[in-house]
Chains A and B, each alone.
Chain A
Amino acid sequence: MCGIAALQIKNPALRPQLGALLNTMLCEVIERGPDSAGMAVYDNPELTDQDSTVLSLLGADLGKTPAQIRTELDLELPEAEVAVEVLGHTTLVSGQATSQELAAALDTVLPAYDVIGRGRHVAVMKSVGNPRDVADAHDLVSMAGSRGVAHTRMATESAVTAAGSHPFSVADDLCLVHNGSFSNHASIRKELQRTGVVFDSANDSEVAARYIATRLEVGEDLETALENLSEVFDGFYTLVVTTKDGMAVVRDPISCKPAVVAETEDWVAMASEFRALAELPGIENARVFEPEPGQVYTWRA
């Protein structure tokens, strides 16, 4: 089934509360996906800053201590001022380098690792387990930020694994979460693999994330990429895509899966169910609506 909660702060005074508000929203959609969960938080000064790139890696225990990893990365990238920290089930590697440079350096240091997020704005954290536990392990409730998206997973098309959890972040500061299931994901995956795209998981939603990334790479804007996705992908979906500049919501043309949006001057939020929005400050005066099926909605920061 899956649950989605997304929040974009408009009023900077609310940034310190992003994590707390997102956590409250997340807790209301646990029942939609109790298997595993993930979060992406943008512009949390404790985790990211615009002068360095952060790679979010899956897992807290990668076979070497953070200090060891850092020492070895320093040898690869001496100018980059690399830092490595473990937060909950996530290892965060930051440095003054590009994502590709950091990843290339990591290739020589770690035998195996999964990059689940990268960029200058986003930290991505995901894991198997009850969503409340996943959020608590990362102390989501204490986080500040400009926007965040959380997902609770009820696995249908592929196994319950940490790598199969959402969000899928396959390009700098780009995240995608999905409620629903795609029926033709296998054939689209094969097409993309033919063009050189490498996949991290068997997950149908990852195919959508990779597809969006390839469209953005050829210069399409997010709206066009999502419109093209609607032409190419078959299945049920409510998708939320976040970038460093904003967020987008789209539902399949039959609106099989739910979506509710609430917007005030201070924030815009989207969730699978209204009850996840019910505690947001100012909700009683918010504009509350369900996105029309087949239409892309975007909010830019």
Chain B
Amino acid sequence: MTALAHEPAQITTETTAATEDTTVVDLAQSSVRDLNQALHDPASTSTEWLVRHPAGKHNIAVGIDRALTMTVEGNVGYFFAGMHKSADITVTGNAGQGLAENIMSGRVHVKGDASQAVAATGHGGLVVVDGNASARCGISMKGVDIVVGGNVGHMSAFMAQAGRLVVCGDAGDSLGDSLYETRIYVKGTVKSLGADCVEKEMHEEHLAELAQLLAAAGRDEDPAAFRRYGSARTLYHFHADNSAAY
């Protein structure tokens, strides 16, 4: 029978120039564990990183907790930049589930699409997805800001407590189900709203906030083209009338 004859896939479409100061890691040669340990090393002074051939591997760049910049050329798997702090990192391709979950601060930018649960339970920082994000984007977000250039899937901002979600495309079913105080801005259509999520008026402070977020994400959409959604606050507040039910 014929032996395998294809070349390993060239998954990068961009090549970032590496300067002398750049630490270059090729994940076709070294392990994700080694990369992450190097990133966590308190003695490390490397502040510029370039990662090649991620090939969809999981857990890349999890737990960074210092200021550095990183570009990952290609597509990453689950939990990229989980528990992220301080650093500014970019993925040129797509990201799998749990992108920047539990992010505390810093910036994570995916130029392609992102899978489910973007920035799940994130506390701070900014997560930017230029393409589409799938279901449950911003689930339980606690202060992170998320800007999605494309669409978000169903159940996005589910139980979202704080922070801002900006969607430049469309939102799927049940947007903001069981919403707390996250503010949601959507430029396109919303397929349906989740429990206790309602459209709200845009005031000057919302337009200003949205303008800031879009600028931070490097986008030029007009804030006036967006609609705002927020909690009706009837679900998560205790009503004395209901005290007999407890």
Contacts and interface: CB of A to CB of B under 8 A. Distances in A.
A277 B12 contact: no
B63 interface: no
Given A255-B135, A277-B56, A284 B77 contact: no
Contacts of B75: 274, 278, 288
Interface stretch (B3-11, B44-52, B139-147, B227-235): B3-11
A258 B115 contact: yes
Size range of the interface on B? 20 to 34
Contact of B6 (A17, A19, A142, A144): A17
B6 A284 contact: no
Interface string A285-300: 0001110010000000
A17 B12 contact: no
Interface in B9-59: 9-13, 55-58
B33 to A, nearest CB: 14
A143 B134 CA distance: 35
A283 interface: yes
Contacts of A143: 1
Interface in A4-32: 16-17, 19-21, 24, 28
A284 B56 contact: no
Contacts of B5: 17
Nearest to B55: A278
Contact of A273 (B7, B10, B96, B153): B96
Nearest to A275: B56
B183 interface: no
B9 A282 contact: yes
Contact of B10 (A258, A276, A277, A284): A284
A234 interface: no
A274 B13 contact: no
A20 to B, nearest CB: 4
A284 B14 CA distance: 11
A17 B4 CA distance: 6
B2 A275 contact: no
A200 to B, nearest CB: 31
Contacts of A289: 113
> Chain B's interface: helix, strand, loop or mixed, by majority?
loop
Contacts of B115: 258, 260, 290
B96 A274 contact: yes
Contacts of B135: 254-255, 293
Nearest to A253: B154
B121 interface: no
B156 interface: no
A266 to B, nearest CB: 10
B32 to A, nearest CB: 11
A105 interface: no
A281 B9 contact: yes
B140 to A, nearest CB: 16
Nearest to A139: B1
Given A17-B2, A255-B153, A274-B75, A288 B94 contact: yes
A17 B1 CA distance: 9
Contacts of B6: 17, 21, 281
B1 A144 contact: yes
A284 B10 CA distance: 6
A279 B55 contact: yes
Contacts of A86: none
A273 B9 contact: no
A279 B116 contact: no
A274 B180 CA distance: 33
A277 B56 CA distance: 8
B56 A290 contact: no
B161 interface: no
Contacts of B113: 288-290
A232 to B, nearest CB: 21
Interface in B139-191: 153-155
Interface of A: 16-17, 19-21, 24, 28, 139, 141-144, 254-255, 258, 260, 273-284, 288-290, 293
22 contacts: A16-B1, A17-B6, A19-B1, A20-B3, A20-B4, A21-B4, A28-B56, A142-B1, A255-B134, A255-B153, A258-B115, A273-B78, A273-B96, A274-B56, A275-B55, A275-B77, A278-B56, A279-B9, A284-B10, A284-B12, A284-B13, A289-B113
Question: Which 10 A-B pairs have CB atoms at the shortest separation, nearest pair first?
Answer: A275-B56, A142-B1, A274-B56, A278-B55, A20-B4, A281-B6, A283-B9, A16-B2, A278-B56, A284-B11
Interface of B: 1-13, 55-58, 75, 77-78, 94, 96-97, 113, 115-116, 134-135, 153-155
Given A273-B96, A275-B55, 20 more contacts: A16-B1, A17-B2, A17-B5, A20-B3, A21-B4, A258-B97, A258-B116, A273-B56, A274-B96, A275-B58, A275-B77, A278-B75, A279-B8, A280-B9, A284-B11, A288-B75, A288-B113, A289-B113, A293-B153, A293-B154
